[in-house]
Amino acid sequence: MGTVNIWLKRSYVGLTCFIMITCVIMCGFTLFHHGVMYKEEEIDNSSGASKGVHMFYVFYAASFLFCVFGLFGIFKKKTWALIVFTVGIIICSLASLLVATVLMIGQSMFPHFVEAEYLSMLPLTNATETVTEALDLLQSEFECCGIDQGYRDWMGDIPHSCLCVEDSTNPCVAAPRNSTLYEDGNPVMIYAEPCLPIFLESIDRLIKGTFGLILGIMILWLLSVVLCGVILCQMNRKEETPKVVYSKEAKAGNYSSLTEA
What is the C-alpha to C-alpha distance for residues 182 and 176, in angstroms, rounded to an integer? 6
pLDDT above 90 for 85: yes
What is the C-alpha to C-alpha distance for residues 98 and 75, in angstroms, rounded to an integer? 33
What pLDDT was estimated at residue 121?
A: 83
What pLDDT was estimated at residue 258?
A: 47
What pLDDT was estimated at residue 51?
A: 65
pLDDT above 70 for 101: yes
What is the C-alpha to C-alpha distance for residues 175 and 188, in angstroms, rounded to an integer? 6
Q: What is the pTM of this model?
A: 0.69
Q: In percent, how much of the chain has pLDDT > 90? A: 14
Least Cα distance to 203 among 114, 138, 141, 117 occurs for 114
Q: Three-state secondary structure along 142-199?
A: HCCCCCCCHHHHHCCCCCHHHECCCCCCCCEEECCCCCCCCCCCCCCEEECCCHHHHH
- pLDDT tens-digit series, residues 27-59: 887 777 666 666 655 545 555 556 666 777 888
